[in-house]
Structure 1
């Protein structure tokens, strides 16, 4: 089987055009659930690459390009993300700095899209001989709702991937070096919002009210005591992080009657999350009842854990070697969450990390920018994975 390398997968013209396209995406970031303009840019690009079909509005603003092989075979999904972040970019000297105030592509999703766009060009020149290739531009990854919505879309059942692959660039790792391992890749997490309601009173007569202040103070110290282990590789890993607290109104004459607390719960796997949620809810309920307060709990930004399937990992492992991508090490699973894990419930799924530089700003930093030199590297890995699954041994066309 002929293999694909970063040097051969794209022409210089391809790289120039994809770089400009990526930088245009960087200038115009859309937030989770509001990716209309980005999706339109994606569709315009895909139409030039002659897929057999393009699905739009998938799970919101998702876009999928489908390339059909002539013979039966596996369906293989390659996934990237559409959304940026509600963070103001501080890269004023960057020619392609975000032009939308308060928004930035500061996680590299613009670069991930460019890699999958490169795959559309490659597939246009190298049609699969069997099976099906699906290029998915997924909405709303940053808040954890996108993968769930895509899978719930009735049209996704028609795609029904057997394998799903993705990547994420990762600052702190050597440029262009990869991390891949079977097993847990990203932790499960969810935002827990607690509302405590008592009764206001005049500040001179606090005994006439029921302030949630003491319970707020207790929860701020008690819930973090549920932490277990600092090592996400420990199956018992559990972490509660305080992210926001608000008490009453900003007034000197009123004792508060309401408090809002936000926590992030994090565990290695979904099973651990069930246990952590039960303990956290029990603490809230007990303290609220003891103080005569009512309470409400809601959950937001819910992410399942992400786990690499052994068979899918072996395919990526071979692909990395074929693309001459060096390996490096990182602590796995990552504490950070990734909603790609939901595709693992429907297919054999695996993702890998691709180093974006040891001196690069961290993900979600206001000065992060995706390094364009990763575009042909990521594309070459995906192309080799497809060669193993959707191609007879007929060789690969060179770019033209």
Structure 2
């Protein structure tokens, strides 16, 4: 990639960074992607997939496999702390996970394919909405349009602070943990604060339930038995001194390496919550959101990405442990040979979802080059 191309793509990344949109609201981001893609003259551009998803198809017209490359459109509902000229211009929203960089890499792939189209088969560039909520990949794949472009192979990446800049980490098997947000609502009866005995407060039950839920998953080694429960929010009654509370709510994130262990953890947490509510004479409601299934890398896809790194001279570290954070990319593995690799953003780089995080522009040609080498490996 020429210095001119790198500068142009960095400018594009900065534009995407300035105008973030959170999950389910990526309409303008998708429009910017479509505009850029059409300059690359793919054979087809599909829009509105799974809400705001986009796909660009480069078709050789000759029979062969379909290779997909996937990135994410959405940003986070976090206020950015940055003095950069390209800092977010949208209050309370920012690209603090690097999806702006991921999109730019895949657009760089589109530019390269415009100059050197596949000799056989097809390449599908997948721009997926709503990754941060765990809903985007499933919605994208459930859209009727996906049947027309469903890939045989699909690759993705995520930048990774803490890993040396430009180094790749890759594993076979479990790659990203399963996780889900559990919401427990305890229902009693309000009363005047002067006569709490006339009501039914969930306060004591909440006080017992919080350490009990946290105790179900202490983390530890990332093996088949790994489980982590993280209390993220608690609310008791209303912010007033005159009312004894009649309602309490707890949010806890459940995290495991496998979907099977997740189901066990769900059963344990629900049993605990229902038992505590019954003991206290409270009603209980349990609901889930931000549901991510475990993400697993296919051995063949890992071999392809390993060769791509070697071809491009990118330092590669093979590992046998997954990342603790979750990814809905695992949905694509249900119909394709797939793998995600992690690309180092620097040992001392701010962590993902931190308010001062910013994607390193130097990674754009590295990620795009690995994707292109993987495509050529499959399609020749």
TM-score by length of 1: 0.93
> 2:16 pairs with 9, 21, 25, which one?
25
Q: What SS does the aligned partner of 2:65 have?
A: strand
Cα deviations across residues 168-219 of structure 1 (Å, max 9, x unaligned)? 1111111101001111111000000111110011112211111111111111
Q: Any residues of structure 2 matched to 1:204-219 within 5 Å, and which? A: 204-219=194-209
Q: Distance in 2 between the 1:329 and 1:313 partners?
A: 9
Contact 2:172 2:320 in 1 (8 A): no
> 1:167 pairs with 144, 157, 161, which one?
157
Q: What SS does the aligned partner of 2:118 have?
A: coil
TM-score by length of 2: 0.98
Determine whether 1:199 maps to 2:199. no
Q: Any residues of structure 2 matched to 1:149-160 within 5 Å, and which? A: 149-160=139-150
Q: What SS does the aligned partner of 2:235 have?
A: strand
Q: What SS does the aligned partner of 1:137 have?
A: strand
> 1:89 pairs with 80, 94, 110, which one?
80
Q: Distance in 2 between the 1:181 and 1:160 partners?
A: 24
Q: What SS does the aligned partner of 1:130 have?
A: coil
> 2:293 pairs with 282, 298, 304, which one?
304
Q: What SS does the aligned partner of 1:180 have?
A: strand
Q: Any residues of structure 2 matched to 1:30-49 within 5 Å, and which? A: 30-49=21-40
Q: Any residues of structure 2 matched to 1:98-247 within 5 Å, and which? A: 98-232=88-222, 234-247=223-236
* Aligned residue pair count: 380
Cα deviations across residues 333-359 of structure 1 (Å, max 9, x unaligned)? 111101111111111110101111112
Q: Distance in 2 between the 1:329 and 1:72 partners?
A: 33
- Give the corresponding residue for 1:259: 248
> 2:42 pairs with 51, 75, 79, which one?
51
Determine whether 1:321 maps to 2:303. no
> 1:62 pairs with 48, 53, 60, which one?
53
Contact 1:307 1:344 in 2 (8 A): yes
Cα deviations across residues 59-96 of structure 1 (Å, max 9, x unaligned)? 110110001122111111100010111111100x2111
State the shift of 1:328 in Å: 3.7
Q: What SS does the aligned partner of 1:221 have?
A: helix
Q: Distance in 2 between the 1:53 and 1:128 partners?
A: 14
> 1:76 pairs with 41, 44, 67, which one?
67
Q: What SS does the aligned partner of 2:67 have?
A: strand
Q: Which moved more, 1:189-198 or 1:222-231?
A: 222-231
Q: Distance in 2 between the 1:302 and 1:108 partners?
A: 21
- Give the corresponding residue for 1:377: 366
RMSD after superposition:
1.1
Unaligned runs of 5+ in 1: 1-9, 392-400
Q: Distance in 2 between the 1:293 and 1:228 partners?
A: 27
Determine whether 1:287 maps to 2:276. yes
